[in-house]
Structure 1
Amino acid sequence: MSFVTVDLLALARDANYFSTLTATNITAPAISLLSYHPDFQTVLGENATARKIADLPWEAFHEAGIYNKNDNSLYVTSNYQSLDDNINITVVSLDDYSITSTQFPDVWEANGGTSYYPPGADQSQTPPQQVYCDEGDFEHYSQLVAVDPNTNTSTILLTSFMGRNFSSINDARQHPVTGDLWFTDADYGYYQFFRPQPSQPKQVYRFEPKTGVVQVVADGFVEPNGLEFSPDLKTLYVTDTGAQQFTFNGTRPATIYAFDIQGDKTLTNRRTFAFSDIGFPDGIHCDTEGNVWAGAGDGVHVWNKEGILLGKIFVGETSNNFAFAPGKVFVFSNSRLWVVENVKVQGREVCKDFGIGCE
């Protein structure tokens, strides 16, 4: 597959330029690699190829994308449909791309998540558990739940901030040094009519599974969503998807903010890192070179460390999240699953999760 070069000067001068490209002027979702900067081809690699690997009649591929080494599979949360059919976990085998579904005890409406070392776990091995951000419903609190997918057992880690109910915990990352879980709390359960009206601000939190300490580390968001550490652990990126609430409003944030991490525990120096030109940046990951990737309104967008857009994995529809694997990127666009193969760059957590590429 060849890269499609976007002429930035033409785009700057003609608001309709994008629709003139053959790759983007499509009537049905299709995948292309759009280069906004020469470095995009360096990041993906000259031999990168892309294709669709699943197209289902329901929205199986929405968020999370957590690897389990025991069965060599990605665990992806489906999109919310109704309280009568709570969110499933879609299991994608990386052996043959076969797809099954499962659910875990005490996980009611899962959204984002992360691989997880519980306190005292051997970190020379790949993570033995997964943590899901359970948005809850009208009967169950929103919570962080640790799951062992190999034994189908769950442990509830956190259900409230000092007794105050979270709105809809959205996404989480585990700090690789301290083991703390950093997570966002948004209102999307309320906007999708399966959670009560929110009772506290939309914020970013840090939770210590070993001690129970939970701390607000950032506020002032419309809808904090995805979050990710830079590979040097000096920066935290947080997406604000405030443009989407009950309806889409393009005057609200579709923004990635960056913060300096102080002492592995607090945040300072909030600043705008990037703004998505279509939809909103949702799930977010870094590669080991420090580039920032986010699912957005037409696929996965990739920025360099300075916030310059390098390119897009364009699919022509919203991608809420994606996942790195060795030499691959899996793109989730709800009912469809795509893969970019022969990828040169490596995701920040690939070494930890897969035990590969750690040199």
Structure 2
Amino acid sequence: MSNISAFVAHDEQFHNLLGGSPTLELLVENNRYPFAHEAGVYIQATNELFITSNRFGDFPNTPPHEERVQISKVVLNNDPSKITCEEIDSSAVPMGNGGVNYKDGILFCGQGLLNRPSGLYYMSFSAPYDVQLLLSDFYGRPFNSVNDVIVHSTDGSIWFTDPPYGFEQKFRPAQNLPPQIYRYDPGTKTIRAMADGFGHPNGLCFSPDEKTLFVTDTDRVHGSEGILDYKASTIYAFDISTIHGQPFLTNRRLFAMADQGIPDGIKCDMEGNVYSGCGDGVNVWSPGGILLGRIVVEGGAANFCFGQKGEIFILNENRLWRARLGEHVRGALLRI
């Protein structure tokens, strides 16, 4: 359905992204549990979308350490009435969260449980959805609750965030590490801490040329203390510099602050514009940090992903939406 009121411009450049007739349509609704929360991994070959739910219990008053996260596969179609949403066996990925396309499958962040490790889990994207634990510790020190992950296309390195949400939300043991960003080299199997100084490092993405890293800090929302308005709801940018033949994150700077909720999942388009799921939907900034506009969705969006030719799939807890911008818009991750 067309819903032009869902697109709010703060700068004339936003209209260039919207094209002539932007639309927002509801694709799937599930009021049994919040099925559409994180990940958002689009598979072009099959026109499918893999998503992770928010935490939920199978009975009232389920204790946090007994809650679970459900991974679902959405088979897309231009006709929403023909879209299907299949729950797949998620037991091998404890408390799944963010995800990214990786080789012939998906790399999921497993936040872990009291007795299950947090780490990076590789899952094939076809049945029986085999899962392999790729990484779960920093030289023997267990990760806190790995949250989001991206892959650098040039060298194949895997970058991810590790906030303390699992401990704060009482489904993980006490922290063993500071809240940091890590880089894992699957070729040499070496891992490095790349940046610290965050409250809750969360979403991350590269610029189109992969020379800039954007990271969201969702410190405003604490697992045990609720909303703390004086904490960061901020996107930071770093330059990726080569020093002694190795990448370092330099020139840390505040890129933007979300005025509604927190900036959670984050993506770039091929023009370098920065999109983030916030408390009122998806906010869009220019490469220079100017708020261009918003795709307004009641209840906000933790995460989202680009599909093809201007499609954006917005994860809105009990609802999955599809926004269509101008067909020239391409997500920097898949470039389609």
TM-score normalised by structure 1 residue count: 0.85
The one of 129, 132, 150 equivalent to 2:108 is: 132
8 Å Cα contact 1:104/1:147 also seen in 2: no
Q: Secondary structure at the match of 1:136?
A: coil
For residues 137 and 205 of structure 1, the distance between their equivalents in structure 2, rounded to whole angstroms, comes to 20
Partner of 2:247: 265
* 1:343 maps onto 2:322 in alignment: no
For residues 236 and 103 of structure 1, the distance between their equivalents in structure 2, rounded to whole angstroms, comes to 33
Gapped regions of structure 2 (runs ≥ 5): 58-64
Deviation string 1:122-145 (CA, Å, 9 cap, x unpaired) is xxxxxx111000000000110101
The one of 136, 142, 147 equivalent to 2:118 is: 142
For residues 209 and 2 of structure 1, the distance between their equivalents in structure 2, rounded to whole angstroms, comes to 44
For residues 37 and 46 of structure 2, the distance between their equivalents in structure 1, rounded to whole angstroms, comes to 21
Deviation string 1:284-331 (CA, Å, 9 cap, x unpaired) is 000000000000011000000011000001012121000100131111
Deviation string 1:185-231 (CA, Å, 9 cap, x unpaired) is 01111222211121210000000112111001100000000000000
For residues 303 and 259 of structure 1, the distance between their equivalents in structure 2, rounded to whole angstroms, comes to 16
Partner of 2:87: 101
For residues 208 and 130 of structure 2, the distance between their equivalents in structure 1, rounded to whole angstroms, comes to 31
Partner of 1:190: 167
Partner of 2:48: 73
* 1:223 maps onto 2:200 in alignment: yes
How far 1:69 sits from its partner (Å)?
4.1
For residues 33 and 166 of structure 1, the distance between their equivalents in structure 2, rounded to whole angstroms, comes to 39
For residues 288 and 175 of structure 1, the distance between their equivalents in structure 2, rounded to whole angstroms, comes to 15
For residues 310 and 3 of structure 1, the distance between their equivalents in structure 2, rounded to whole angstroms, comes to 16
Partner of 2:61: none
* 1:325 maps onto 2:307 in alignment: yes
Letter matched to residue 336 of structure 1: R
Letter matched to residue 167 of structure 1: N
For residues 153 and 2 of structure 1, the distance between their equivalents in structure 2, rounded to whole angstroms, comes to 40
* 1:211 maps onto 2:188 in alignment: yes
* 1:308 maps onto 2:308 in alignment: no
Partner of 1:251: 230
Letter matched to residue 217 of structure 1: M
For residues 293 and 341 of structure 1, the distance between their equivalents in structure 2, rounded to whole angstroms, comes to 14
Partner of 1:24: none
- The correspondence of residues 109-128 of structure 1 with structure 2, limited to 5 A, is 109-117=95-103, 128=104
8 Å Cα contact 1:104/1:153 also seen in 2: no
TM-score normalised by structure 2 residue count: 0.90
8 Å Cα contact 1:129/1:148 also seen in 2: yes
Among all aligned residue pairs of Structure 1 and Structure 2, give the percentage whose two residues are the same amino acid.
38
CA-based RMSD of the aligned residues comes to 1.5
8 Å Cα contact 1:60/1:77 also seen in 2: yes
8 Å Cα contact 1:299/1:319 also seen in 2: yes
8 Å Cα contact 2:17/2:325 also seen in 1: no
8 Å Cα contact 1:206/1:265 also seen in 2: no
Letter matched to residue 90 of structure 1: S
Letter matched to residue 100 of structure 1: E
Distance verdict in 2 for CA 1:102–1:335, change over 3 Å: same
Partner of 1:283: 265
Distance verdict in 2 for CA 1:178–1:149, change over 3 Å: same
How far 1:106 sits from its partner (Å)?
2.6
* Bigger shift: residues 315-324 or 249-258: 315-324
